[in-house]
Structures are given as C-alpha cells and as structure tokens.
Amino acid sequence: MSAVIVARPVGEFDLMMRVFVGYDPREAVAFNVLNHSIQARASQPVSVTPLMLSQLEGLMWRERHDLQSTDFSFSRFLVPYLCDYQGWALFMDCDMLVLDDMANLWAACDDRYAVQVVKHDHRPTESTKFLNQAQTTYEKKNWSSVMLFNCAKCTALTKDYVNEASGLQLHRFQWLESEDLIGEIPHRWNHLVDYDPPLPAEELSNLHFTTGGPYFDAYKDCGYADLWFAERDEMLFAG
C-alpha cells in the first residue's frame, strides 16, 4: 500500500472521481479487468467510462491513421470536452492494472497545472508490439497514456481540434500555451511493464502493459502477468 496523501479540498466537480478508459474491441477483457481493479480499491465514489468510438458518433470523425494502434489513440483528448471543461478527470489506456486507491492519485491534483502525467523517457527499440502493430518512438512517448486533466485549463481541446490536429501535436501537448502547465504525478502511477526496473507490487500503483498485455497469448508470460490473471479470476468469481 502507498503512503496516505493528505487530500486536497473537494470541489463541486470532485465529488465523483471521473475516470475515462480507452476502449478497443480487441481488448475488451483488458477494460473490464482494469475497471474491476479500480473499483475494488477505491475508497471514494469513482465512475469509469469507456471511450468507445460507437458512442462518440459526431465527436470523432478523423480517419484512422496507419500508425494508430488502438481505437482510442486520439479520442483520449476529448475527455475535457466530455466533462464540459469542469473539474478533474483522468484518462487511462486500457492495458493497465490499478493496485492502489484512486483517491491517492486524486489527492495529487494541483490547480497550477492543466494536465499531470508521468514524464517518461521511453525509447523502445523493438519495431512491433501487440497484434503486430508498429512500434513508434517520439518525444514524450507514453506521457499521454495516463493524464490527469484539470479540465478548465484544457479548453484548447475542442472536438474540432482533436479531429484536425496531428497526432504529434496532441501527444506532445502542443495544445498547451506552455510546457510549464504540464505537472507530474508519481512514477508509480504509470509503471511500464518490462521497460521500467521491476519493483515489488506494494511499491506500484498502476501497471502499464504497454507492449502487450497478458490477455494476448504472445504476452501471457510478461512481467506481473500473475497479478493480472489473479485480478481477472477475482472479477469472474461468484460464490
């Protein structure tokens, strides 16, 4: 368990912790296990919303890019719009497993920033990842895989901008007036499995199976796979 963080004052739009998770039909099981891991550990009310393209008709109309490995590569940037640019909200990729109370992350919200992320220096050397998707390298890679949005300061992310901006403009946070508006959250909230040095589970808050999750046969023996399978089994258990 992580150390208890003194909670910040709860505002009007913080009564419910809002979490948006990228959704791809090929990783439906990943979304459901992630949702279970969040809900099972949360000490405060939390809503988890899948960003399904089938539910974003009229909001997402950009054509799929050849390098787009998931359905949610760009829809993640609609989160502030979906929140009417009010309060705080979290975006997460679906290939994750939460091991901590989400309230501990919410306590780290800092009104000085528009968005808070783990500032990885991630430079993968392989050319492909899950389902033979192309692996790409760019500045700030994986920063956008977990984003804590201060929605009122993200008004540049209109639905038009999200559909028309380049992928690099979005994922490099060029929609912000200054990089000083990008704050940090503890690294433990976006641990890149099999890239970051392995740590005991009790020192981690969120596992990110960024190359491929254990729900894919090719990655069933990846780091921390046992924790993911245990979570899945707990979710399925009835009796």
In this structure, the strands spanning 115-117 and 182-184 are: parallel
**194 in a domain, yes or no?**
yes
The percent of residues in the chain predicted with pLDDT above 70, rounded, is 84
Fill in the DSSP letter of residue 134.
B
pLDDT at position 71, please? 74
Residue 231 lies in a domain: yes
Which ranges constitute the DSSP H helices of 21-92? 28-41, 79-82
The residue segments making up the domain with residue 103 are 12-236
Kindly provide the b/e burial profile for residues 168-196, where b requires at least 16 CB atoms within 10 angstroms of the residue's own CB: eebbbbebbeeeebbbebbbbbbbbbeeb
Model confidence pLDDT, tens digit, residues 179-234:
999 999 999 999 999 999 999 999 999 999 998 999 999 999 999 999 999 999 99
Confidence at residue 125, expressed as pLDDT on a 0 to 100 scale: 61
Distance of alpha carbon 28 from alpha carbon 212, whole angstroms: 14
The CATH number of the domain holding residue 46 is 3.90.550.10
In a domain, 57, yes or no: yes
Is 2 within the bounds of a domain?
no
H or E element: which one contains 48?
Answer: strand 46-51
Question: Does 109 fall in a domain?
Answer: yes
Residue 5 in any domain: the answer is no
Q: Quick one: average pLDDT of 75-90? A: 97
Does residue 116 have a pLDDT over 90? yes
Domain tally, the chain: 1
d(CA 152, CA 136) in angstroms, rounded, equals: 31
Residue 3 lies in a domain: no
In-domain check, residue 7: no
